[in-house]
Amino acid sequence: PENPSWLYMILIAVTLAVAAIPEGIPLCVTISLSSGCSTMVSQNVLVRRIAAVETLGSASVICSDKTGTLTEGKMRAVKMWTAGTNYEISGTGFDPMSGSILRTEG
């Protein structure tokens, strides 16, 4: 290209490194996974294993829970989304009769 970007230059450098030294493939993979780890750490994500970054790269949805699981040791749903509809869930504990499920906009 007439005005190559830095990403294009990195792609060419990696291609040449792998073509010249096939043993360089694991090094390139390790460097890219480490880069992903450092990006995630800068966004306050705890990365325990570098291989997890590769697995998360193909994830389209991540479900997480912070509704008392860590502080009280109890899991409780507070929101639900299904078939394009949002629901707010109220109540305490595990008694299904103590709360309600309300449809919300959005």
- Active-site residue set: 65
Distance between CA 37 and CA 48 in Å, rounded? 9
Cβ-proximal residues to 93 (8 Å cutoff; 6+ apart), any chain: 74, 76
User: Rounded CA gap, 80 and 67, in Å?
Assistant: 13
Residue 99: count other Cβ atoms within 10 Å of its Cβ.
16
d(CA 93, CA 99) in angstroms, rounded, equals 9
